[in-house]
């Protein structure tokens, strides 16, 4: 292995990310953290008379990193921030009241806070620090009791959320919460009417789905390049629907389905109409059976697939041999359908 390969492997093992955000994004994130914490200190002093050390929950520094460096991350959204801190603060104070042994109290507070955040779907890593602060904060903090939830925790949370909303608003790609940014991006993206899209159209669609990629220019361009180089789908023709062949509708997630043609139903009740029977062998409604006209089945089918080593793989028509214009012979590709 070359020296460069060793270096690349070591960086990958250490988890060193290859982020390509621009200098503007880095400076904006740092400025956001500055104003977020400054806002908490100023509001605490103005409303409660607290000094910086008393009125500021240390875990808000970690929340500032999430809110201003990754404002569209799932752990940075309003409910995880609000619920994570408030639930953890409540658990920390409760543990102090119920568990006299300090070391055990600290461990129980953090462990219970993690479990509660999971169950309440408000996982926010700084919440663990909020619980630990409540449990290990000393007599002055313990004397606050459940008042700790209101001042300073609730006050801190509301201020930093407000600053995050206001500060990120002028930057269209950073608008917070993420649902707001995504909604604006979708509204601004034009409707595509063709099956082939330009790189600009693909870029707008990608950013509409995930605005946080706006500063990841190389990644977005790589996605567009791959999309443009993939072979386009050739519709399955009705005359080429084959007995015992399997076809996929090409959908994703719960809508994905594979049907196997099991017979010819032309001689049944709908005599005179070219019909086929099929059985669903994978995906939605597995084991269901049905009958469709050959034309309707062809409209449903996106392409033929074959099962290879427990994976459904797409197959493509082979070039027709001399004297054979049907092109029915097929060769499997390496594309996984799932």
For residue 283, give every residue at least 6 positions away whose Cβ sits within 8 Å of its Cβ, in sequence order, or none. Answer: 248, 256, 257, 258
Q: Cis omega before residue 177 (within 30°)?
A: yes
The overall average pLDDT reported for the chain is 79
Q: What is the pLDDT of residues 5-48, one digit of tens each?
A: 676 677 667 766 545 567 888 899 999 999 999 999 888 888 77
Integer Cα distance of 188 and 182 in angstroms? 10
Of 121-125, 231-235, 262-266, 269-273, where does the model show the most confidence? 121-125
pLDDT at 311 over 80: yes
Integer Cα distance of 317 and 203 in angstroms? 31
Question: Predicted confidence band at 140 (pLDDT cuts at 50, 70, 90)?
Answer: confident
**How far is the CA of 138 from the CAs of 54, 178, 202, 227, in angstroms?**
12, 37, 55, 58
Stretch 299-321: mean pLDDT: 79
pLDDT at 264 over 50: yes
Domain extent listing, the chain: 20-168, 238-336
Which tops the pLDDT comparison, 314 or 86?
86
Q: pTM of the predicted model, to two decimals?
A: 0.57
Which candidate, 193, 188, 192, places its Cα nearest to that of 211? 188
Integer Cα distance of 209 and 186 in angstroms? 8
Question: Predicted confidence band at 166 (pLDDT cuts at 50, 70, 90)?
Answer: very high
């Amino acid at each position: 292995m070359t020296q460069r390969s060793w270096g690349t492997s070591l960086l990958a093992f250490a988890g060193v990310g290859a982020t390509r955000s621009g200098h503007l994004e880095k400076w904006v994130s740092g400025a956001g953290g500055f104003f977020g914490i400054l806002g908490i200190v100023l509001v605490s002093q103005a409303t409660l008379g607290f000094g910086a050390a008393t009125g500021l929950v240390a875990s808000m520094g970690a929340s500032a990193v999430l809110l201003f460096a990754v404002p569209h991350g799932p752990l940075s959204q309003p409910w995880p921030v609000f619920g994570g801190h408030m639930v953890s603060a409540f658990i920390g104070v409760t543990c102090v009241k119920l568990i006299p042994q300090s070391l055990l109290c600290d461990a129980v507070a953090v462990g219970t806070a993690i479990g509660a955040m999971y169950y309440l779907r408000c996982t926010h890593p700084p919440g663990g620090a909020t619980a630990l602060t409540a449990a290990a904060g000393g007599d002055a903090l313990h004397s606050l009791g459940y008042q700790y939830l209101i001042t300073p925790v609730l006050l801190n949370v509301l201020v930093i959320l407000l600053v995050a909303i206001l500060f990120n608003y002028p930057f269209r790609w950073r608008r917070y919460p993420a649902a707001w940014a995504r909604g604006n991006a979708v509204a601004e993206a034009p409707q595509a009417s063709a099956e082939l899209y330009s790189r600009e159209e693909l870029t707008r669609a990608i950013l509409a789905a995930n605005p946080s990629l706006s500063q990841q220019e190389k990644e977005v361009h790589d996605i567009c390049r791959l999309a443009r180089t993939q072979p386009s789908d050739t519709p399955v023709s009705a005359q080429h629907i084959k007995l015992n062949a399997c076809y996929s509708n090409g959908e994703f997630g719960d809508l994905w389905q594979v049907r196997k043609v099991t017979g010819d139903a032309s001689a049944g009740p709908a005599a005179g109409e070219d019909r086929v029977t099929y059985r669903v062998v994978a995906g939605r409604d597995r084991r269901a059976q049905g009958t469709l006209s050959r034309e309707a089945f062809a409209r449903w089918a996106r392409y033929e697939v074959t099962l290879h080593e427990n994976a459904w793989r797409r197959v493509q028509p082979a070039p027709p041999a001399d004297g054979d214009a049907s092109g029915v012979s097929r060769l499997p590709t390496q594309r996984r359908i799932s």
